[in-house]
Amino acid sequence: MRKGKISDNVIRRLPRYLRKLDEMSADGYTRISSKVLGDAMGLTPSQIRQDLSCFGDFGQQGYGYNIASLRGEIANILAINRRLTAVLVGVGNIGQALAEHFSFALSGIQLIDAFDIRPEVVGTQFGNLTVKNADALEQVLDERHPDIAILCVSQESANETADFLVDHGILGIWNFTNVELTQKAKNVIVENLHFTDSLLVLSYYLSEKQKGKTAAERSQNQQ
């Protein structure tokens, strides 16, 4: 059904489509127009049609989109049904938040193991996962061939750990270290969650909207 190369912007909107469609499906809808979907997502109907046309012809004039089949196709594209496997490397605060609260199943990912070097963390239990000593990482990589490593180690060891993971066959790195991975990680897929970048973007839009006035200054002017 796929037509040519899909832009990164469209790809990054797909998870949002998925969430919207799930919500609408839960609310009992079976089909939806590009107008209603666009309103819900803050996009124009024509942008919706353009995005979705990348993946084949779902919409029918005057009928709209069938929610179940559109959802199915997007889930396919996002490889949700591939049962990719992941290991968590570094179980500090972020790692712990992921192990404890994050629903990997929602993304079709299976978290198979977690590792840390600190004795006080090794042995900690999260659901049916027990944090292993980092010494065991090499064997798990070589024997179970996880697809994804979730990198939550310290900034100092980020690149070194990434190199080790790539050397042992990891195909993708979900990078929470706030460090740009500049070495062997270049050969695999890296998805960064750079918190600083995100906060700076927020800061930009906020300043644009407020024409440079902070909330405190605005409040003073009103007095």
Residues within the interface to its own copies (CB under 8 A): 9, 11-12, 14-16, 18-19, 77-80, 82-85, 92-94, 96-98, 100-104, 106-109, 144-148, 169-172, 174, 180, 189, 191, 193-207, 209-210, 212, 214-216, 218-219
How far does Cα 42 stand from its chain's mean position? 20
Q: Which is nearer to its own copies, 25 or 107 (CB)?
A: 107
CB of 210 to its own copies, least distance (A): 6
Measured on CA atoms in the order 44, 76, 7, 165, is the torsion positive or negative? Answer: positive
Closer residue to its own copies, CB minimum distance, 60 or 97: 97
Residues 6+ apart with CB under 8 A from 187: 166
Asked whether the beta carbons of 173 and 189 are under 8 A apart, the reply is yes
Least distance (Å) from its own copies to the CB of residue 61? 29
CB of 93 to its own copies, least distance (A): 3
Least Å distance, CB 167 to its own copies, is: 13
Total count of residues recorded for the chain: 223
Q: Which residue lies nearer to its own copies by CB, 134 or 151? A: 151
Q: Which is nearer to its own copies, 98 or 122 (CB)?
A: 98
For residue 1, the minimal CB distance to its own copies (Å) is 15
Smaller CB separation from its own copies, 72 or 108: 108
